[in-house]
Amino acid sequence: MSDDPLGFSTRAIRAASRTPAVRQRPTSVPIYQTATFASEDAEQLGDVVGDPWAGYSYSRLSNPTTQALGNAYAELAGGEAGYAFASGMAAIHASLASLLHDGERVVASAALYGSTRAQLTGYFGRFGVTTELVDVTDHEAVARALAAAPTRVLYAETSANPTTFLADHRALSALAHEHGATYLVDNTFASTYVCRPLELGADLVLESATKYLGGHSDLMAGVVAGPHGLVAKVARAQVDTGGTLGPFEAFLVLRGLLTLAVRMDRHAANALALAAWLERQGGVQRVYYPGLPSHPQRAIAERQLRPGNGGGMLSFELAGGRAAGGAVIDALRLTELTASLGSVHTMVVHPPSTSQRQLSEAELIESGITPGLLRVSVGLEDVPDLIADFEQALAAARAAAAVPAGV
């Protein structure tokens, strides 16, 4: 029996909470699976509660593993600071909430992820924020929209979801700053390996780390990077609204970053091969992939994206409309029937039914989304297997829509 005068429960709590001293540096960031951190005294506790960058008190405010992810993303994205969130949408919300007040205005891309568009026009719209949607590939239209009224935020996606139309960050950031707006970029489709918007003039860049950064469809997370002052405001919005990333998910994203370059090179090689093959197929009206010479913003891709890497996302239009799109998806055998992207698995979705399901038919057309458009997140499978699978699926679509093979 122990001579310790404390009771068993008291001793058990103290014994099981005592952390070992580690003098050797771990080669992976440890998972700090704890909600709370003990301070040395009351003054230190006050300091770390008041400033999440000064230390740790409560994991909703800051956690070493999630902070390591924010720091790593900032370093890779070229930002002074970074912060991690529970999802990409949480990162978008906190970024916008840190910048917008009642009565302010946003100019955003019309070709925008459906939930982002709904957040801007719906949720922020409830609080007096107005949003004008424009074609950000038309710089004259963007300039007119910015000049029409004071604008707080210009919002764009590096590669539009799902059309892959590219935003010219140098031109758009210059227009935003000329009119006193903050330029905010969603870089999810590209990843920080393929494009670094901060180096091209963006004020804040964010990504859904659920996608390429994690890379395996086994986590949800979001990240933001930029100047320390702006990121601190974004972090405060997260602290107050609670989009907190858990340390285990942060660890998984950090692990994903280790192989991001290798995976993105394979994603891009597979996507280019599949896109080039699709361009030659009957029943396919048009293929959109930044690595193709036929892409509408090919010149921007050459200036703005990593040389030789157009990313892993493509889309293509089928002659048979919705019926043909559904037939392709149902006939594919290798792809995962799921609504996400940026994974080792190839994923094919019909945007009007999934990522842009919130939009009306008129809004879909405004966003450049036709009834027969399919979005493909090209995975890491072997190219011959992918092409063979799409070949038989397109044959099924032609049969479903009665489209001749030579069309």
Residue 226 belongs to domain with CATH number:
3.40.640.10
Determine the Cα–Cα distance for residues 34 and 31; give it in Å rounded to an integer: 9
Q: Are residues 251 and 367 in the same domain?
A: no
What residue ranges in 190-258 does DSSP mark as E strands? 204-208, 222-226
The answer to the question of residue 20 being in a domain is no
Among 257, 280, 298, the domain boundary falls at 257
Determine the Cα–Cα distance for residues 400 and 402; give it in Å rounded to an integer: 6
Q: Quote the pLDDT of residue 320.
A: 82
The answer to the question of residue 19 being in a domain is no
Q: Are residues 45 and 114 in the same domain?
A: no
Tell me which residues are annotated as active site: 60, 113, 186, 211
Among 257, 279, 296, the domain boundary falls at 257
Task: With residue 125 as reference, give the H or E element that holds it.
Answer: helix 124-126
Count Cβ atoms below 10 Å from residue 35 Cβ, excluding itself. 10
The answer to the question of residue 8 being in a domain is no
Q: Are residues 160 and 305 in the same domain?
A: no
- Count of positions (residues) in the chain: 407
Indicate the pairing of strand 153-157 with strand 182-186: parallel
Residues 6+ apart with CB under 8 A from 22: none
Q: Are residues 388 and 280 in the same domain?
A: yes
For the entire predicted model, the pTM comes to 0.92
Q: Are residues 284 and 264 in the same domain?
A: yes
Q: Are residues 199 and 173 in the same domain?
A: yes
Q: Are residues 207 and 294 in the same domain?
A: no
Q: Quote the pLDDT of residue 324.
A: 86
The answer to the question of residue 5 being in a domain is no
* 8 Å CB contact between 250 and 102: no
Per-residue pLDDT of the chain (407 residues; tens, 9 = 90+): 567 789 989 999 899 999 888 999 999 999 999 999 999 999 999 999 988 888 999 999 999 999 999 999 999 999 999 999 999 999 999 999 999 999 999 999 998 998 999 999 999 999 999 999 999 999 999 999 999 999 999 999 999 988 999 999 999 999 999 999 999 999 999 999 999 999 999 999 999 999 999 999 999 999 999 999 999 999 999 999 999 999 999 999 999 999 999 999 999 999 999 999 999 999 999 999 999 999 999 999 999 999 999 999 999 999 888 888 889 999 999 998 888 999 999 999 988 665 555 555 666 666 567 788 999 999 999 999 999 999 999 998 887 666 555 54
Domain of residue 384 covers 260-401
The answer to the question of residue 15 being in a domain is no
Q: Quote the pLDDT of residue 354.
A: 58
* 8 Å CB contact between 394 and 328: yes
Q: Are residues 72 and 184 in the same domain?
A: yes
Phi-psi region of 304 (alpha: psi -120 to 50; beta: other; left: phi over 0): alpha
Q: Are residues 111 and 246 in the same domain?
A: yes
Q: How many domains does the chain have?
A: 3
SS3 content of the chain, % helix, strand, coil (to 5): 40, 15, 45
Q: Are residues 45 and 172 in the same domain?
A: no
Q: Are residues 41 and 103 in the same domain?
A: no
| Best CA proximity match to 313, nearest among 296, 279, 290 | 290
Q: Are residues 87 and 222 in the same domain?
A: yes
Determine the Cα–Cα distance for residues 133 and 365; give it in Å rounded to an integer: 13
Q: Quote the pLDDT of residue 28.
A: 95
DSSP, collapsed to helix, strand or coil, labels residue 336 as strand
The answer to the question of residue 227 being in a domain is yes
The answer to the question of residue 237 being in a domain is yes
Residues 6+ apart with CB under 8 A from 136: 109, 110, 111, 142, 156, 167, 172
Among 41, 62, 83, the domain boundary falls at 62
| Best CA proximity match to 332, nearest among 402, 376, 389, 404 | 389
The answer to the question of residue 7 being in a domain is no
